[in-house]
Amino acid sequence: MQKALDLDAVRAFILIADLGSFTRAAEVLEVAQAAVSLKLKRLERQLGCRLLDRTPRHVRLSGQGREFIEPARELLAAHERAVAGTSAARPQRLTIGISDHVAGPELPMILARLNAYDPSRIIEMRIAASRELAAAFDQRELDAAIVRREDDRRRGKPLFEDRMGWFAAPTWKPRAGVPLPLANMAAPCGVRAIATRALDSVGVPWTEVFVGGGVMAVGAAVSAGVAVAALAARVAPPGSVDVGPQLGLPALPASEVVVHSRLREHRAQELLRVLGAAFRAGT
């Protein structure tokens, strides 16, 4: 009689598949990468097939892995319901804030991964400026917040760094004798302050021609060819180009992204690590 599947190995497989990385899966599980590899090998040996195709740069589901991934998710979901004591247990809510300058175009895919990893959890997401979210976290309105590090460099656990640049539409051209047209988020946006200070420090004249209520609006102004915007590469609109080197604009410091959390429950902490690992996988 075939032995029961190792749930920890199944969980490791799902994380590797969703994050596309043994390293990121190990971060979520808080174990060494070698331990994750052993779990997967044990699962593959038990199933008698290869679940993942591995190259030095990519990790993808094999044909058998694609067939197994959904039953694997269902198995873990059933286990979570059993641990909770009833399939009708009241779902738990997790409230997370994510900075507008961090939540890039891959956010829908990341949310899908979170839901697949723990479908019983209600995730309430708030997208706003880093300072607003940091204040909300301090006021205990959020369980966790992923934000740009602002002035207080002691706070928050480092997650990753975003490369910043001066992005414009590929068709955009500077006009001689005209100040650099900028698209910004409204003050007191930290990125706006960094960008305008950098321009002032080297004497580059600028003028604000568009003020958006979020990065998506600023990105729309960039895509329309209206202005140049200081953005992290991850949230710059598709097709836009960094015109900083071409125009001799000052280099912008990398944006350090940190996570604030007061989560204590193990499963919630693990879900937050999944979120952080998914963002790191996209950098």
pLDDT at 206: 96
Q: How far apart are CA 136 and CA 249, in angstroms?
A: 34
Contacts of 245 (CB under 8 A, 6+ apart): none
Closest CA to 163 of 69, 78, 236, 76: 236
Residue 164: what residue type? Answer: M
Residue 170: what residue type? Answer: P
pLDDT in tens, 59-94: 889 999 999 998 988 888 777 777 666 545 566 788
H helices of the chain, in order, are: 7-19, 22-29, 33-47, 63-84, 107-117, 130-138, 190-201, 215-223, 244-247, 266-281
Q: How far apart are CA 190 and CA 176, in angstroms?
A: 29
What is the Cα 42 distance to its own chain's centre?
Answer: 30
Average pLDDT over residues 154-179: 89
Average pLDDT over residues 192-207: 94
Long-range contacts of 195-204 (CB under 8 A, 24+ apart): 195/230, 195/252, 198/249, 198/250, 198/251, 198/252, 199/249, 199/250, 201/250, 202/250, 204/180, 204/249, 204/250
Closest CA to 222 of 165, 162, 283: 165
Strand (E) or helix (H) holding 183? strand 180-185
pLDDT in tens, 20-52: 888 888 888 888 989 999 999 999 988 889 999
Q: What are phi and psi of 90, to 5 degrees?
A: -65, 125
Average pLDDT over residues 138-158: 83
Count the neighbouring beta carbons within 10 Å of the beta carbon of residue 165. 22
pLDDT at 146 over 90: yes
Q: Which domains does the chain have, with CATH numbers?
A: 7-88 (1.10.10.10), 93-161+256-266 (3.40.190.10), 164-253 (3.40.190.10)
Q: Check whether the bond before 253 is cis (ω within 30° of 0).
A: no
pLDDT in tens, 210-261: 998 888 899 999 999 999 999 988 889 999 999 999 999 999 998 889 999 9
Count the neighbouring beta carbons within 10 Å of the beta carbon of residue 252. 19
pLDDT at 224: 94
Q: How far apart are CA 140 and CA 154, in angstroms?
A: 19
Contact status, residue 76 vs residue 118, Cβ threshold 8 Å: no
What confidence tier does 1 reach under pLDDT thresholds 50, 70, 90? very low
Contact status, residue 136 vs residue 227, Cβ threshold 8 Å: no
pLDDT at 90: 61
First-to-final CA distance of the chain: 45
pLDDT at 152 over 60: no
Contacts of 246 (CB under 8 A, 6+ apart): none
- Which residues are bridge partners to 158 per DSSP? 258
pLDDT in tens, 181-195: 999 988 888 889 999
pLDDT at 154 over 70: no
